[in-house]
Structure 1
Amino acid sequence: MMYPSEAEWAGEPNSRRSPGVARTRDHLCFHCHTHLCMTPGRPLVAGLTADRTVETFEIAERLRATLDAGVTSVRDLGGVPSGYRTALERDLIEGPRLQVAVRVIGHTGGHADCSLPGGTNADPHLTEVADTADEVRMAARRVLRAGADVVKVCATGGMGSPYDDPDDEDLTYQELKAVVDEAARRRGKRVAAHAQGTAGIHSALRAGVTSIEHGYGLTDELCDLALERGAFLVPTPATVFAPLDPAAMPDHYFRKKSRWSGVTKENIAHAISRGVPVALGTDAGVVRHGRNLAELAYLVELGMDPLDAITAGTSNAARLLGVDDQLGSLQTGRTADFVVVDGEPLHDIGVLGRSEHIVLVVQAGVVRKDLLRRKGM
């Protein structure tokens, strides 16, 4: 297998290009919505009994699996402390470079409330509960003090939370605005909003959040507002394409997902057709880790051109994370992150979702995975 020149990586025609290399301008390296502390089917009560030492190694294993899947930069939106970012920066463990939200901010009885029926908080490492604009501002200050790169807020209820619904509003417009203002005071930190229902998406966009996570209830008017405000959409379609199994999830979760799956696909497809900027994120933790780029096939199924889907995982994602001056495209003088694929993604986008076809992963010029050498290529 030949390795491409810079011109070839930039997408310029060249008859010497290897058929095993993705013919795209950008390289596939970003994932903007994950929860490394979670795994599918993990019950809420597990947070009470978890051995934190064992969890450390489990999270390190998930980071490694994510890197092997072709992802060299990740944004974790709740549950992982900033120490993992430091460990990765010091090469104590191998995985994608990491941005963290540390904990998720929401109100009592909302999507971020992990209280059990008896009142015990099942996972204090995951959430911050606040109920007034002042309390929410203080919660933002606490997560920023803990090293958050991005502040994660709940603008709506959610699928997996037992006390609310995606159509319910969580933090109010005034509370969301307080977080956006506080984040802006800290060197322009960004705000990601869990926002599924229409009313909460509207409040989050008005408040000035950087990204709408999920966006299931997007309307044509909200697409206009997102385009006007320059907000990104991280639609996480893996969460709605995943097969529904009532035996594998709580009843409230199954009922909500059954009701929302169809309309979600329609609304996200419409947002894509309207040109709302999309960044790649699967909500891994709710869905499986290590299959991050399988999301690209879902985006294509929802109407994206394969190259546009790849852009969602490269230059768009780099812009969302605020690192597009160094990452997101292969150019002279930028950080050398790239992957080599055993296949042609523009003809079969699904090849990127299978880790065994990601044959080479290079992160900042360091080879992190090399199946080519193992195969003697």
Structure 2
Amino acid sequence: MTDLLLRDVRLLDGTGAPPAPGTDVLVSDGLVAAVGPTGTVVRPADPDPGALRVVDAAGRTLLPGFLDCHVHVSSLPGADALATVLAPESLLTLRAVPHLSATLDAGVTTARDLAGADSGFREAVEQGLVRGPRLQVAIRILSVTGGHGDWRTVDGVALDTGPGAGAVADSPAEFVRAVREVIRQGADWVKVAATGGTGSPRSTPESGGLSEAELRAVVEEAARHGGVGVAAHAQGAAGIAAAVRAGVRSIEHGYLVDDATIDLMGERGTWLVPTLATLTRPVAAGAPPWVEAKRRALREQAGERLHAALTAGIPVALGTDAGVVAHGSNLAELALLVEHGLSPAAALVAGTSGAARMLGVDDQVGTVAPGRRADLVLTDVDPLTSIAALADPRRVRLVVQDGRVVKDTLADAERTPARA
């Protein structure tokens, strides 16, 4: 593996600290070996002096690789539901390969897939069979009968039995078994439907979720298996509150969270993954009328409620629902977080060290510091003044993952002056 010296960067290290211009970062053996003022970082003597690439990065910003905590890499935005149900599982799996690649090219080096990807996706990336962010997976969503993960026909015929299909249960004991089953299949996370949603035909954001007793059973059983985290799809206020009281680690969406629950999330350190990209996206052409009606009603209140949550100082992690929205546009979420109340610096933390803490990997990634994995993003954007520009993957010039350069458009960039 060739060592890498990034010279004279403007470093945003992921901690929320002010930018450090004139910084050198040395990468060796897959790790950040040294960080210091330009000209002070010295590489140890090496019998092969040619095994070092030096990048003059003056005028550019270096950040940790980003973490997207809510993706669906095997899903395709706007895909025909019937065609997806009828497609062979191999097609859905292979369809994810360019999605994974686009996510990595956007600057996301770690992602959590919250239904659709099984453990084979994670292992394929780990083994280098496909290029993409390293993955944590939940495999499927656990749902009550008629809830957000119940995609059977009215006669009870299962429309989908693949990894993305929901698992239906209806008592604390049944959910304990469902947790054990999904962990047996290799899940890093357990995902539950604490409420219904806009895209499920027989539930709503305010109803159709697990009871609090069922949620507690899931959390307790997941904790028994090495502290596996629980992520709760939760949109309506009552379901969000029940999930927080039950002890889930993250609330996904959280669109109608009330003030009392915001306070409780702050007390308990419950994470919010607001997926603003999917909230603000237009309704797809040809969507059923009930989808449009539910989305319109939800959006009228969600913006104000999420602004209250984001400005209250509760823990926030970046998540996009990519797969519902386009793959490769992941960092558009940063500007949406700013629009809804975070400062640019706080939004960057949500996408780096904050997300890493939530995923339990902050001792490895999420910051640029000696000893951390060398997951790095070099951009010609100043994210503190032009964070929306990071939504364009072309502005991400270099991506390093575990010390390997996995995207490099610097030669193209030299023909274009760095811009703010």
Question: By the TM > 0.5 criterion, same fold?
Answer: yes
Query: Secondary structure at the residue paired with 2:327?
Result: coil
- Kindly indicate whether the alpha-carbon contact (under 8 Å) linking 1:114 and 1:121 is maintained by their aligned counterparts in 2: yes
What's the counterpart of residue 327 of structure 2?
289
How do 1:109-258 and structure 2 match up within 5 A?
Answer: 109-125=146-162, 126=164, 127-244=166-283, 247-258=285-296
- Kindly indicate whether the alpha-carbon contact (under 8 Å) linking 1:6 and 1:330 is maintained by their aligned counterparts in 2: no
Query: Secondary structure at the residue paired with 1:166?
Result: coil
State which drifts further: 9-18 or 102-111. 9-18
State which of 293, 302, 306 in structure 2 corresponds to 1:264.
302
Shift of 1:9: 4.9
TM-score in terms of structure 2 length: 0.85
TM-superposition CA deviations, 1:185-240 (whole Å, max 9, x none): 01111000000000100110011000000001111111111011110000001112
Hey, what's the Cα distance between the residues in 1 that align with 2:155 and 2:143? 19
Query: Secondary structure at the residue paired with 1:227?
Result: helix
Hey, what's the Cα distance between the residues in 2 that align with 1:229 and 1:84? 32
What's the counterpart of residue 12 of structure 1?
20
CA, structure 1 residues 48+9, in 2 after alignment: closer, same or farther (shift >3 Å)? Answer: closer
TM-superposition CA deviations, 1:292-332 (whole Å, max 9, x none): 01011111111211111111100110001000011110110
Mark the runs of 5 or more structure 2 residues left unpaired by the alignment: 14-18, 24-37, 39-56, 416-420
- The answer to whether residue 351 in structure 2 is matched with residue 313 in structure 1 is yes
Task: Please tell me the residue identity of whatever aligns with 2:6.
Answer: Y
What's the counterpart of residue 408 of structure 2?
370
Hey, what's the Cα distance between the residues in 1 that align with 2:77 and 2:366? 29
How do 1:23-62 and structure 2 match up within 5 A?
Answer: 26-62=63-99
- The answer to whether residue 397 in structure 2 is matched with residue 359 in structure 1 is yes
What's the counterpart of residue 41 of structure 2?
none
- Kindly indicate whether the alpha-carbon contact (under 8 Å) linking 2:303 and 2:340 is maintained by their aligned counterparts in 1: yes
TM-superposition CA deviations, 1:107-147 (whole Å, max 9, x none): 11000001134432222222111111111110000100000
Shift of 1:286: 1.1
Query: Secondary structure at the residue paired with 2:308?
Result: helix
Task: Please tell me the residue identity of whatever aligns with 2:216.
Answer: K
Task: Please tell me the residue identity of whatever aligns with 1:220.
Answer: D
Shift of 1:375: 4.6
- The answer to whether residue 311 in structure 2 is matched with residue 273 in structure 1 is yes
- Kindly indicate whether the alpha-carbon contact (under 8 Å) linking 1:100 and 1:149 is maintained by their aligned counterparts in 2: yes
Shift of 1:54: 2.2
Percent of matched pairs sharing the same residue: 47
Query: Secondary structure at the residue paired with 2:111?
Result: strand
TM-superposition CA deviations, 1:65-88 (whole Å, max 9, x none): 100111000000011110111111
- The answer to whether residue 3 in structure 2 is matched with residue 3 in structure 1 is no
Query: Secondary structure at the residue paired with 2:311?
Result: helix
Mark the runs of 5 or more structure 1 residues left unpaired by the alignment: none
RMSD: 1.8
State which of 360, 363, 381 in structure 2 corresponds to 1:325.
363
Shift of 1:362: 0.3
Hey, what's the Cα distance between the residues in 1 that align with 2:79 and 2:414? 40
When the two structures are aligned, how many residues end up with a matched partner? Answer: 372
Greater Rg, structure 1 or structure 2?
A: 2
Query: Secondary structure at the residue paired with 1:45?
Result: helix
- Kindly indicate whether the alpha-carbon contact (under 8 Å) linking 1:169 and 1:199 is maintained by their aligned counterparts in 2: no
TM-score in terms of structure 1 length: 0.94
Hey, what's the Cα distance between the residues in 2 that align with 1:236 and 1:252? 21
- Kindly indicate whether the alpha-carbon contact (under 8 Å) linking 1:74 and 1:97 is maintained by their aligned counterparts in 2: yes
CA, structure 1 residues 244+53, in 2 after alignment: closer, same or farther (shift >3 Å)? Answer: closer
TM-superposition CA deviations, 1:249-294 (whole Å, max 9, x none): 2211111111111211111111011111110001111111110010
- Kindly indicate whether the alpha-carbon contact (under 8 Å) linking 2:138 and 2:190 is maintained by their aligned counterparts in 1: yes
Query: Secondary structure at the residue paired with 1:332?
Result: coil
Q: Quick check: which one's strand share is greater? A: 2
